A and B are shown apart, each in its own frame.
Chain A
Amino acid sequence: MRKLVALSISAILASTLMAKEIKVGVLQPLTGPIAAFGQKTLDGIKLVHEKYNTLPNGDKIKLVVVDNQFDKIQTVNGYKRLVSNENVVAVEGPLASSMALAVKRFANDTKTPTVTQIATNPRVTKGTKYISRTCFTDDFQGTVAAKYALKHNLDNAVVVFDMKQDYSVGLAKAFMKAYKKGGGKILKTLFINTGDKDFNAQVAQIKKLNPKFIYTPIYAPEEGLFLRQLRAAGVKAPVMGGDGIADPALLKKLAGKAANGVMYTDHFDAAKAPTPLSAKFIKDFKAKYGRAPSAFAATGADAYLVIFNAIKQCDTPATSNDLSKFKSCVNNAIRHTKNLEAVTGYLTIDPNTGNPINKPAVIEKIVDGKTQFVELVKP
């Protein structure tokens, strides 16, 4: 007993004497099928964390990184661990919509401010005060794709989506709604499953329907093989996807030449820095990693900057009892982010919905194995 008292006294002393450490959780898929996305995101987070880690009062921000393996169970466990064991102030992530939806209840229960940088499904932030996001939603992304197709007179389409992914289902719906509203005709919706490798059945259908446009709101591993089989069958219609296929290197690797011409909507293009901070970020990123930052790195940095900015506005808690008060202050500040200079642009978050206001999208195209900027679309 005496030992215990001594220990706790020394612990309290230590914590009051030293500059405090404030923990921010990072929950990303660092292994598993979309590990590449999580790794790229983490690169971006680490780069801004190096620069923005000290609060005005001298307290330091420490990142606690947890791998969710793109698995719902691991995501929920990881989230609980961050909140209950690590006592983090806020969580950045998780990356995919299905995973963000999986932690929604726990974010509410534990009142933990959670900022997802790239979960685009509209349901992610609906009906919760504690999950915010720094990216556009699929409603917007789908509309951008639909408008682009209609503008180029591609007025009938086939939609191929992954019925196992909330992201894919939601984005397909958003696209179809906007496309039909604009006068386009959906010839057919076809579905696939995460992990499928044989798309010949779907391709045969598409070949028969001969659509002018093919919309594929799926993830890159499936898209790569789909493109390969589609082009091998002689289908030439333009293909477009969402940010889920925004991994040009992987598409090229899996589809080879068939990757040429594929388009996707994305959050950021390193060739078009929207803010001074963004230009600096791109320069530092290239110096550190030897390549241009992807949209994942940029959005990862964005969410961190939002959290950092919010923590800066709140008083650091003296004891752990004040943690919940601190967390609610941070959450409030996140929700009231206004014109914050970030990597993908100036961020303003709507306090009611938790979604950013006026977030533009870019359309990218793979030409001769290289990513090319097509256009910037503002809401």
Chain B
Amino acid sequence: MDIGFVLQQIINGFSLGSMYALIAIGYTLVYGVLRLINFAHGDIMMVGAFLTFILLGIFTGWKFQHINMPLFFTAAGIAIILTSIVGILTYVIAYKPLLDKGAPKISLLITAIGISFFLESLFNVIANQYLGGTYQAFYFPKWFSKIIHIGDITIPILTIIVPILTILLLLLVLFILYKTKVGIAIRALAFDISTVKLMGANSNFIIAFVFALGSALAAIGGIAYAMAYPSIDPYMGMLVGLKAFAAAVVGGIGSVTGAVIGGFILGFVEVAIPGFFPELGGWKDAFAFILLIFVLLFKPTGIMGIDFERQRF
């Protein structure tokens, strides 16, 4: 086993882990504020990838030729904004009425699963009716499929861009949480919703903002995932969503930094298992979740474990 091979696996792990991390942040933010595991979050990631695909289709007259950087980033940008709106809508339509009526947390969880199925089915109908099939190839500028050769190692350029982007976005989220007024409000909301309301803060706006932020990050994760594995389908968010959830739990749900660390760890396990033990390649999903159980056995609150009575994010 040479050093180049190991290095390559590490880079791959980082890249896959960053996509999980981007989605895991959304899980963690929503959980921190509402104590809700938003199981529809994985599908939000699918919505981001699909909307980018649809917008690119509209821009290129469904030919998907000559996709250059400005075109791609315009499509991705609009898709990210639209995905945030979808995120806000799920909150306003599905969760808020339940919260207002004081429904138990378990009802919210079931609603989240319902939203998840709804989004999957909706995009399945769209894909089959208007796009010509469940599975679609994802197109993006050729530059992103560039491969850098350093000695024996081949590094797809995407595997460098995505982790850097993830770190930058993490810093941005931390900045928002700790240095802005909305951030302070989010952290206050995580402590006690009723008190924040009594203080005159608009809790609905803040929660909607949390959903928008989480959904935007999920959309970015989804687009990155679709570029790495250029085939999208309405069910792509299911397993990725579950793994991102596992990443959030491993990292310590409620902690943004933890979510990113959890994402990286999960990415490494998934790459390392088939990389170093190729025979076990087909079991990589199983190992990802075994890791989850293992971590929870020793550290029930996750790596950046948060005691919710004292600390937030």
Binding site for B on A (CB under 8 A): 31-36, 39, 163, 190-193, 195, 197-198, 200-202, 204-205, 220-221, 224-225, 228, 249-250, 253-254, 256
Contacts and interface: CB of A to CB of B under 8 A. Distances in A.
Interface string B271-307: 0001100100110110000000000000000000000
B135 interface: yes
Nearest to A160: B282
B24 to A, nearest CB: 18
Among A31, A221, A224, which residue has the most Cβ atoms of chain B within 10 A?
A31
A221 B282 contact: no
Contact of B128 (A31, A163, A198, A228): A31
Given A31-B124, A36-B134, A250-B135, A205 B285 contact: no
A44 B281 CA distance: 39
A191 B282 contact: yes
Interface string B196-234: 000000000000000000000000000000000111010
Contact of A35 (B133, B239, B278): B133
Contact of B282 (A192, A224, A249, A253): A192
Contact of B281 (A36, A190, A195, A224): A190
Nearest to A252: B137
Interface residues of B, number: 26
A204 B276 CA distance: 11
24 contacts: A31-B125, A31-B128, A32-B134, A33-B233, A36-B133, A36-B134, A39-B128, A190-B282, A191-B282, A193-B282, A193-B285, A197-B229, A200-B12, A201-B284, A221-B134, A221-B231, A221-B233, A225-B229, A249-B133, A250-B133, A250-B135, A253-B135, A254-B135, A254-B230
Contacts of B111: none
Interface in B111-153: 121, 124-125, 128, 133-137
Given A31-B128, A32-B124, A225-B229, A201 B275 contact: yes
A368 B104 CA distance: 58
Contacts of B281: 190-192, 201-202, 205
Contacts of A200: 12, 274
B235 interface: yes
Contacts of A195: 235, 238-239
Contacts of A197: 229, 231, 236
Contacts of B134: 31-36, 221
A205 B128 contact: no
Contacts of A220: 135
Interface of B: 12, 16, 121, 124-125, 128, 133-137, 229-231, 233, 235-236, 238-239, 274-275, 278, 281-282, 284-285
Taking chain A's interface residues, is the majority helix, strand, or loop, or is none over half, making it mixed? helix
Q: When A and B form their complex, which 7 residue pairs have the shortest distance between CB atoms, in order from nearest? A: A201-B274, A201-B281, A197-B229, A191-B282, A253-B137, A205-B278, A254-B231
B155 to A, nearest CB: 13
A69 to B, nearest CB: 9
Contacts of B231: 197, 221, 224-225, 254
Given A205-B278, A228-B230, 18 more contacts: A31-B125, A32-B124, A33-B134, A33-B233, A34-B134, A36-B133, A192-B281, A195-B239, A198-B16, A198-B229, A201-B275, A220-B135, A221-B135, A224-B135, A225-B230, A250-B133, A253-B136, A254-B231
Nearest to A195: B239
B25 to A, nearest CB: 22
A263 to B, nearest CB: 21
Contacts of A32: 124, 134
* Residue in B121, B135, B274 whose Cβ sees the most chain A Cβ within 10 Å: B135
Nearest to B137: A253
A249 B131 CA distance: 13
Contacts of B16: 198
A92 B164 CA distance: 53
Contacts of A39: 128
